[in-house]
Amino acid sequence: MRILGIDPGLARVGFGLVEFVRGEPPQLLHCGIIETAAKTVLGDRLITIYNDLHELLDQSEADLVAVEKLFFYRMGNTIAVAQARGVILLALAQKGCAIVEFTPAQVKQSLTGYGNAKKPDVQDAVMRELQLEQVPQPDDAADAIALALTAHFSAPGNP
């Protein structure tokens, strides 16, 4: 099974594609970001996210997509990220993707056993689960990988 994790954002959308084969450790196939320039008109930034995500979905052949639910401390950024997340969900729906959504606390709980874990703890769990020697960069990609792992762990019958 291939699970694509997506960490929504307007400036950077993180993604991580992880393959799970029963009896084998999970394999990170691809990760990175879709990036939009801050000085670009909002509509053009959303088009970039939409087009790049469509291309990523065509290449990834994901069986499931895990998307982070919105959670923000600052209201100023929330609306722009919500707009980007809407475009992401639209692209996923158009492709007929199976989607699961998780809050940051659910991801932290799944990977560390503690819903208020710090980012380094989650990154350590990602490295451990995928047997990596360093944290995938940038952070948005590592967060997306954590979403993919959470989707796997949350599926019935998985550890």
Residue 118: give its domain's CATH number.
3.30.420.10
Q: Known catalytic residue: 129?
A: no
Residue 159's pLDDT is 60
pLDDT digits (tens, 9 = 90+) for 35-78: 999 999 999 999 999 999 999 999 999 999 999 998 665 556 78
- What does the pLDDT average to over 89-113? 95
The pLDDT value recorded for residue 156 is: 75
Q: Is 12 within the bounds of a domain?
A: yes
The per-residue pLDDT of the chain, averaged, comes to 93
> How many contiguous H segments (helices) and E segments (strands) does the chain have?
5, 5
- Does the annotation count 140 as an active-site position? yes
100 φ/ψ angles, rounded to the nearest 5 degrees: -125, 150
CB contact at 8 A, 102 and 151: yes
Domain count across the chain: 1
**Segment 87-105 mean pLDDT:** 96
Give the Cα separation of 86 and 99 in Å (integer): 13
- Contact (Cβ atoms closer than 8 angstroms) between residue 135 and residue 119: no
Catalytic-role residue among 19, 129, 140, 143: 140
What pTM was estimated for this model as a whole?
Answer: 0.94
Domain residue limits at 45: 2-154
Active site residue 7: yes
Q: Which amino acid is at 77?
A: N
The answer to whether position 122 is within a domain reads yes
pLDDT of 75:
58
- The 3-state DSSP class for residue 9 equals coil
- At 115, the amino acid letter reads G
Catalytic: which of 7, 19, 129, 143?
7
At 81, the pLDDT band (50, 70, 90 cuts) reads confident
Confidence of residue 79 (pLDDT cuts 50, 70, 90): confident
Q: Where are the alpha helices (DSSP H) in 35-138?
A: 42-60, 75-94, 104-112, 119-130
What sign does the dihedral 91-93-96-99 (CA atoms) show?
Answer: positive
Answer whether residue 159 is part of any domain: no
